[in-house]
Amino acid sequence: MTTTTVNEPKKRGWRELLFGRPEQPYVNPYVGGALLGVVLFLAFFLTGNGLGASGGLNRYVVYLEDLVAPEHIDRLSYLLKMAGGEKNPLDDWIVFLTFGTLIGGFVSGWMHGRLKVETNKGPNISVRTRWLAAFVGGTIMGYGARFARGCTSGQALSGGAVLSAGSWAFMFAVFGGGYAVAYFVRRLWN
């Protein structure tokens, strides 16, 4: 008498489920750019608004601040427009756009096998210095986005799409500034 055994599927842990997918190739940049253009058009067509991110993140911060110090919110006219009195700062289209962007990026990274915990850096910089530089740069960018009343995606994509001269001038300045600074930090990446 012979017995046969059926191979049971191996149980996968949550780490393997999240991080164990095979890495897929990147999409062609021209296809990605065309898809981004379609998304931007649909955003204008369906909502009457363009794309952006800093406004949504700002509203999340104001929501938390309103929970902790509502009297502070009520004293500043800038914050009062978003959360004063009975206003809910999360009651705005950009909050949902920002949340959808975060979820969409996570799902796309998972589907294409790029969901990982890693620090990208050059050989001449430590992980700690890389994180410090990222934090300082992110803080400057966040402050600049709020100071300018919009982020680069809102300026470049939404403003550029409606042929705003200020948005085009801004993007030329961003690229020029990026090239100028790259000369000084390139040794950290090579």
pLDDT at 144: 84
Residues in the chain: 190
| Residue 190 CA to its chain's centroid (Å) | 26
Is the whole model's pTM more than 0.85, yes or no?
no
pLDDT at 29: 93
Instruction: Tell me the chain's radius of gyration from C-alpha atoms.
Output: 22
pLDDT at 4: 58
pLDDT at 83: 87
| Residue 161 CA to its chain's centroid (Å) | 20
pLDDT tens, residue order, the chain (190 aa): 556 556 656 667 877 777 778 888 888 999 999 999 999 999 899 888 888 888 888 899 999 999 998 888 888 888 888 887 788 999 988 899 889 989 999 999 999 998 888 888 888 889 999 999 899 988 988 888 878 777 877 888 888 888 989 889 988 998 999 899 888 878 777 6
Q: Which amino acid is at 89?
A: P
3-state secondary structure the chain: CCCCCCCCCCCCCHHHHHHCCCCCCCCCHHHHHHHHHHHHHHHHHHHCCCCCCHHHHHHHHHHHHHHHCHHHHHHCHHHHHHHCCCCCCCCCHHHHHHHHHHHHHHHHHHHCCCCCCCCCCCCCCCHHHHHHHHHHHHHHHHHHHHHCCCCHHHHHHHHHHCCCHHHHHHHHHHHHHHHHHHHHHHHHCC
pLDDT at 30: 96
pLDDT at 3: 60
